[in-house]
């Protein structure tokens, strides 16, 4: 058993070996291993909660995808912060000194990294408030896309062109953002249609409603409806209003409806006119002294 005692003694000596022995911040090998173990245990807890335990609870409670992501992120940040503090304590570092160093760094980097800190706090605000969640369809400036990730500093928004747009979180908090999923998972859209003046308005309304109801991406409730918008220069203007949950592909939906409208109008002899103008010309003297007769002719535009 002598070799075993020798092994234990060597192991004890190794675990007690101290890094930076002449410094106030020195720590032993055992302390370092303890800190690493705390981080690994934290990762294991996060994995177990977000992959194994919580998904089953989400399915039973029918929690939305965006809310699931928010809960997982906040839980992950909380566990990692606690684990980091415990790891620092296991290393034997005085927390008062640690917080003092953090404060000094905050003052030093505050001016240079002001925007970064703004984005960090904005990310926490987004996660806590829940105004914008993963899966929401949003419009920022002229871009429309779906939120695919909310990070601690930036968020990823996938546009209609399948391009991921990386947006600083502060932009989502400070600037105006249209969230089509915030209150209701439905949005009302409108399609303009012009028909010839000799068309039957009631028949036009019936055909437009028929086209809207037959499209699979248009909601049956609320029902689509028609407004007789105006008497245009060359056409009667109708507005077709409909509701849809498929926000990102709404341009494709409108394109499908235009194809169907042209087909239905063709079957029912309803014309979609193009602008027309009548140009008048006044009498112009000719070199022989005779004046030409006034002329007018329709000009298509």
User: Which run of H or E residues covers position 69?
Assistant: helix 65-90
Among residues 134, 149, 130, the alpha carbon closest in space to that of 65 is found at: 134
Query: Tens digit of pLDDT for each residue in 104-152?
Result: 666 655 555 677 778 878 888 887 777 888 888 888 888 888 898 888 7
CB 186 within 8 A of CB 219: yes
Side-chain-facing half-sphere of 74: CA atoms under 13 Å:
14
For residue 67, pLDDT beyond 50: yes
Mean pLDDT for the chain overall = 80
**Distance of alpha carbon 92 from the chain centroid:** 44
Distance of CA 287 to the CA centre of its chain: 71
The token duo for 176 is 């105006």
pTM of the model as a whole = 0.57
What stretch(es) of the chain map to CATH 3.30.70.100?
Answer: 187-267
CATH fold label, 131-179: SH3 type barrels. (2.30.30)
Q: Identify the bridge partners of residue 285 per DSSP, sorted by sequence position.
A: 291
Asked whether the beta carbons of 161 and 134 are under 8 A apart, the reply is no
pLDDT at 243: 92
Higher pLDDT: 224 or 105? It is 224
For residue range 182-193, what is the model confidence (pLDDT) as tens digits? 666 788 899 999
DSSP 27-49: EEHHHHHHHHHHHHHHHHHHHII
Say how far apart CA 19 and CA 284 lie, in whole Å: 105
The answer on pLDDT for 25 being more than 60 is no
CA distance 221 to 244: 10
Indicate the range of 65-69, 89-93, 104-108, 172-176 predicted with least confidence. 104-108
Other CB atoms within a 10 A radius of the CB of residue 38 amount to 20
- Listed residue (223, 158, 235) closest to 196, CA to CA: 235
Number of residues that this document lists for the chain: 301
| Amino acid 301: pLDDT | 47
What number of other Cβ atoms are within 10 A of residue 242's Cβ?
27
pLDDT (tens digit per residue) in 244-301: 988 888 889 999 999 999 999 999 999 988 776 666 666 656 665 555 555 555 544 4
Please say whether the structural domain 187-267 has been given the CATH code 3.30.70.100.
yes
Sign of the alpha-carbon torsion through 190, 191, 195, 199: negative
């Amino acid at each position: 058993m002598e070799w075993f005692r020798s092994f234990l003694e060597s192991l004890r000596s190794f675990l007690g070996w101290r890094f930076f022995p002449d410094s106030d911040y020195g720590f032993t090998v055992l302390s370092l291993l303890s800190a690493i173990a705390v981080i690994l245990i934290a990762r294991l807890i996060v994995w177990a909660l977000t992959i194994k335990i919580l998904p089953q609870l989400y399915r039973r409670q029918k929690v939305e995808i965006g809310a699931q992501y928010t809960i997982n992120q906040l839980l992950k940040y909380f566990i990692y912060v606690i684990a980091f503090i415990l790891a620092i304590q296991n290393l034997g570092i005085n927390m008062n000194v640690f917080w003092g160093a953090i404060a000094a760094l905050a003052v030093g980097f505050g001016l240079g990294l002001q925007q970064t800190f703004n984005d960090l706090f904005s990310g926490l605000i987004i996660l806590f408030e829940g105004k914008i969640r993963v899966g929401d369809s949003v419009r920022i400036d002229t871009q429309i896309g779906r939120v695919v990730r909310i990070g601690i500093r930036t968020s990823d928004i996938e546009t209609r062109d399948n391009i991921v747009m990386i947006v600083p979180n502060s932009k989502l908090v400070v600037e105006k953002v249209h969230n089509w999923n915030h209150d209701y998972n439905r949005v009302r859209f409108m399609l303009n249609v012009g028909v010839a003046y000799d068309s039957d308005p009631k028949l036009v309304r019936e055909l437009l409603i028929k086209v809207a109801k037959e499209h699979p991406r248009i909601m049956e409730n609320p029902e689509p409806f028609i407004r007789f918008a105006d008497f245009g220069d060359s056409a009667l203007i109708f507005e077709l209003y409909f509701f849809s949950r498929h926000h990102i592909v709404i341009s494709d939906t409108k394109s499908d409806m235009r194809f169907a409208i042209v087909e239905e109008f063709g079957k029912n002899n309803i014309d979609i006119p193009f602008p027309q103008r009548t140009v008048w010309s006044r009498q112009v003297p000719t070199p022989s002294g005779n004046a030409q007769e006034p002329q007018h002719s329709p000009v298509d535009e």
